[in-house]
Amino acid sequence: MTLPPVRPITLCEIEAAQKRIAGTIVRTPLVRLELGPEFPDIRLKLENLQPINAYKLRGAVNAVAMLPESERARGVWTISAGNAGQGVAYAARQAGVPCSVVVIETAPMAKIDRMRALGAKLIPVPHEVAWQALEEHAFPGVEGTLVHPFDDHNFIAGHATMGLEILEDAPGTAAVIASIGGGGLIAGVGSALKALRPGIKIWGVEPGTAAPFALSFAAGSPQVFKDWKSSFVDGAGGRSVFPRMWERMHPIVDGSLVVSLEETRKAMRLLAEKARIVSEGAGAMPLAAALTGKAGRGPIVCIVSGGNLDLTKFCELIAL
């Protein structure tokens, strides 16, 4: 398959996406996390409040809307651990077309149930098979038009709308932290923020069990994470950095911070205790990274990217 060349996402495209998706997405609040003067000044961008409880709806709605009518009419499919699948299924239902999801078989039941409820046909596969499909932009036997969950210009432009909202609500923001899976969220938000405020710091965060972007920033080129391990952080931490995503991210991301699963678990508990927020692992990692002090004193915006996880698992993770 010949893919279109990677190009920067312009402010005009982001502003057009903002208008396009405004009737579907929630303009999520940005709230201060009150921790006391010894901690950094932290604000939370609550994307867990989207209709699918995750930010992926922004990109999915924009990407499906931007498909030529002939491609959209064939139906759409995507590859997902759950949140992109929900986003594309939601957008497909809105457009009145069928949707299939090649889903990682270890996805939380909460995400699987929600995709099914949105009408998606699910094709469960192991993580390594899904990752290969992501790299190849193909999966045998699936019908319809692929809406790639991160290596898609219009998907990323949809996510970038979040950056416009952040600066409207907190113009003094010094740094933004976003979890990295494939890199679509940070590529989008970073594109908007750097266009408007070139001096702002854009930090990624990954779990120590799956941190290919941190390796790539250290090496200056896209890397494979050879010791990849699955964990409860299913929405972030890839097996490798795709060269096309490296091309998108490298100019606008200042680095990737790495946090442990224990730090992530504690951040999930802190969000529940201090702000009454149910966050999945990937949604809590930016807070875990901010609390290390490596992103400075702030103001730091931590993107709470989603809150889709089984509540029994959530209770286990935040228990003392």
pLDDT of 320 reads 62
Amino acid at 284: A
Backbone angles phi, psi at 237, to 5 degrees: 85, 90
Tell me the mean pLDDT in the region 151-175.
97
Separation in Å, CA 77 to CA 15, 63, 81, 121, 165: 26, 12, 13, 9, 29
- Measuring CA to CA, which residue among 158, 288, 189, 159 is closest to residue 233? 288
Give the model confidence (pLDDT) of 77-114 as tens digits: 999 988 999 999 999 999 999 999 999 998 888 889 99
**Lowest-confidence segment of 61-70, 231-240, 246-255 by average pLDDT:** 231-240
- Measuring CA to CA, which residue among 178, 255, 243, 273 is closest to residue 213? 255
Would you state the structure tokens that stand for residue 223, as one six-digit string?
Answer: 């890397």
Residue 238 has pLDDT above 80, yes or no: yes
Give the model confidence (pLDDT) of 107-152 as tens digits: 888 889 999 999 999 999 999 999 999 999 999 999 999 999 999 9
- DSSP 8-state class, residue 8: P
Tell me the mean pLDDT in the region 304-314.
92
Three-state secondary structure call for residue 96: coil
Instruction: Report strand pairing: 42-46 vs 30-33.
Output: antiparallel
Query: Between vectors from CA 251 to CA 199 and to CA 80, what angle results, nearest 5°?
Result: 110
Residue 13 has pLDDT above 70, yes or no: yes
Domains, the chain, ranges and CATH?
11-55+153-318 (3.40.50.1100), 57-146 (3.40.50.1100)
Rounded Cα distance, 283 and 238, in Å: 15
Would you state the structure tokens that stand for residue 149, as one six-digit string?
Answer: 């969950």
Torsion angle defined by CA atoms of residues 192, 196, 200 and 201, in that order, rounded to the nearest 10 degrees: 20
Would you state the structure tokens that stand for residue 298, as one six-digit string?
Answer: 């702030």
Whether this prediction's pTM lies above 0.85 is answered by yes
